[in-house]
Structure 1
Amino acid sequence: MAYDHNVAICSPLCYTMIMNKKVCVLLAATSWAIGIPAQVAKTSLIFILPFCSSREINHFFCDPAPLLLLACADTSMNETLTYIMVSFFGMVPFALILLSYIWIIAIILMMPSAEGKRKTFPTCSSHLIIVALFYGSGILLYLQPRSSEFPDGSKLISLFYTVLHAMLNPFIYSLRNRDIHRALKRNMWNKIVPR
């Protein structure tokens, strides 16, 4: 979406030429071709670990980090792979998306009309909010050091990363809708000034 917004704002006249079906399929296929083998490698390294004593996962779902806590063997290779993968698949795309939006914001600020700025910025801001929530909590979840002081911290962050992000996604994207704006204003006005 960041690339789509970038093309739409920075090269609006060439948008249909640049963002054709072939490019969209290529973007989707590339993410699948890079992501699936990486996750298969990470999962296969967890499958070969020996697990002893308790097999009860102290977490909401079967995530790699809580599984590593149950392993009886040395998990340093798994942890190193996790850090590398989060750095590559988390921080690099997040940085590229932020750079794309910095470029978009620079283009928006150079627009001569205030109306153009007013219409363009909300289009990008909703996606930027979702990206910040998703990548921020995901990077924090997987790059935080193991801590005995706040053991349920990873549960809270993973809840935010998986559930809250997905719940807020439709709400944040619907904020651009005029009907939603009117309903929110009417609802807020009724709470401030009761009838």
Structure 2
Amino acid sequence: MYIISGNQSKENPFTLQCFSDQQDLQIPLFVTFLLIFLIIMIGNSTIFTTITLIGQLHTPMYMFLGSLSLLDISYTSTTLPKLLLMLCTQDKTISFAGCIIQLYFFIGFTCTEFLLLSVMAYDRYVAICRPLHYTLVMSLKHCVRLIIVVWAAGFLDTAPFALLIKNFTFCASHHIEHFFCDFTPVLKITCSDTSTIELLTYMNGVFMAFSAFTLTSASYIVIICTVVTIQSSEGRKKAFSTCASHLICVTVFYGTIICSYIRPVQSYTPKQDTYLALLYTVLVPMLNPFIYTMKNKEFKDGFGKLRARIALHLEQ
């Protein structure tokens, strides 16, 4: 195998596996992912719009939920539109610049979601364990600051990875065994030394993912200890219902991300990692609107008011 020089490697596009071994399923896969994309866009856009326009939902919990919905829209938009285009046209190439941009935004949104889920867990901790201090600790101004810090930190944390990969030299095949430019599959085909970026990944995993996971876990341990001391069964049920949806989302997201990234590049297995990636890129953003709103009476009331406004506007 010959090696393409650094400049040439940046001029040649990458090719993505993108389910190429399942040629008879290209159209069914396109239809399936298109429906999933529409569900994600409509569901999360509905949540974000409702929270933005209905005043009674301008509370810390719903502000974080609105930010999560916007994040899920952005997160999905980095991978699914390109995937749909490749399945539709069968052109499974992506430019070097396009690959690095996709990788940067995908990792950035992933880091942001880690942090945002932790902040949401802390919000539930304050609401359940320190209810008398909730309005002081989680004021709207403070929530806005937290959301800005979370988004900024997520993308600043990602920059070193994108800059390092941008300067890598890639092997002749330029073939990525995945359906998008994910971190591990891209590293798998580089001819450059990956020890530095792998070390940085593990350090970042401890600093970012493990710290966020620790904060989330600690919040829920204290929440559970507090809830079991509540005398009323109705009170316990109500307290658990306010955080159960978030806990489900955290479990799926953290589990798939940790399995995918916190391990050596050599242990990468394309098919297994493709299915894991589908869980956190597709399943979590698709389920979030249902998990958070299906039994949420306050949100349903707000959505009903929004529909009434729209109907009134259309009549006029």
**TM-score under structure 1 length normalisation:** 0.84
Residue 233 of structure 2: which of 110, 114, 125 is its match? Answer: 114
Query: Aligned with 1:110: secondary structure?
Result: coil
May I ask how many residue pairs the two structures share in their alignment?
A: 177
* Residues 4-48 of structure 1: per-residue CA shift (max 9 Å, x gap): 111111122222222112211221232233222220111100000
Aligned to 2:267: 147
What amino acid is the match of 1:116? G
Aligned to 2:134: 15
* Residues 85-139 of structure 1: per-residue CA shift (max 9 Å, x gap): 2222212101210110110111111112111111110111110110111111111
Mapped to 2, the partners of 1:100 and 1:122 lie a distance apart of 15
Question: Which range moves more in the overlay, 86-95 or 131-140?
Answer: 86-95
1:176 Cα offset (Å): 2.4
Mapped to 2, the partners of 1:8 and 1:101 lie a distance apart of 12
What amino acid is the match of 2:148? A
1:147 Cα offset (Å): 2.9
Mapped contact 2:177–2:270 kept (Cα < 8 A): no
Aligned to 2:209: 90
Aligned to 1:27: 146
Mapped to 1, the partners of 2:267 and 2:134 lie a distance apart of 48
What amino acid is the match of 2:130? S
Matched, 1:71 2:200: no
Mapped contact 1:52–1:70 kept (Cα < 8 A): yes
Matched, 1:171 2:283: no
Query: Aligned with 1:51: secondary structure?
Result: coil
Mapped to 2, the partners of 1:86 and 1:75 lie a distance apart of 16
Percentage of matched positions with identical amino acids = 46
Mapped contact 2:178–2:270 kept (Cα < 8 A): no
Aligned to 1:184: none
Aligned to 1:127: 246
What amino acid is the match of 2:267? S
Mapped to 1, the partners of 2:163 and 2:202 lie a distance apart of 16
What amino acid is the match of 2:289? P
Residue 178 of structure 2: which of 59, 70, 73 is its match? Answer: 59
**CA RMSD across the alignment:** 1.7
Matched, 1:6 2:128: no
- Higher relative contact order (CA closer than 8 Å, sequence separation 6+): 2
**TM-score under structure 2 length normalisation:** 0.53
Mapped to 2, the partners of 1:77 and 1:107 lie a distance apart of 44
* Residues 55-100 of structure 1: per-residue CA shift (max 9 Å, x gap): 2221011111111111111111111111222222212101210110
Mapped contact 1:91–1:139 kept (Cα < 8 A): no
Mapped contact 2:164–2:197 kept (Cα < 8 A): yes
Query: Aligned with 1:167: secondary structure?
Result: helix
| Long gaps (5+) in structure 2 | 1-119, 298-316
Question: Which range moves more in the overlay, 76-85 or 99-108?
Answer: 76-85
Mapped contact 1:46–1:64 kept (Cα < 8 A): no
What amino acid is the match of 1:106? C
Mapped contact 1:138–1:161 kept (Cα < 8 A): yes
1:175 Cα offset (Å): 4.0
Aligned to 2:278: 159
Mapped contact 2:256–2:280 kept (Cα < 8 A): yes
Query: Aligned with 1:152: secondary structure?
Result: helix
Query: Aligned with 2:276: secondary structure?
Result: helix
What amino acid is the match of 1:40? A
Mapped contact 1:90–1:138 kept (Cα < 8 A): no
Mapped to 1, the partners of 2:137 and 2:192 lie a distance apart of 50
Aligned to 2:312: none
Displaced runs of 4 or more, over 6 A: none
Mapped to 2, the partners of 1:63 and 1:151 lie a distance apart of 11
What amino acid is the match of 1:98? S
Question: Which range moves more in the overlay, 169-178 or 138-147?
Answer: 169-178
| Long gaps (5+) in structure 1 | 179-195
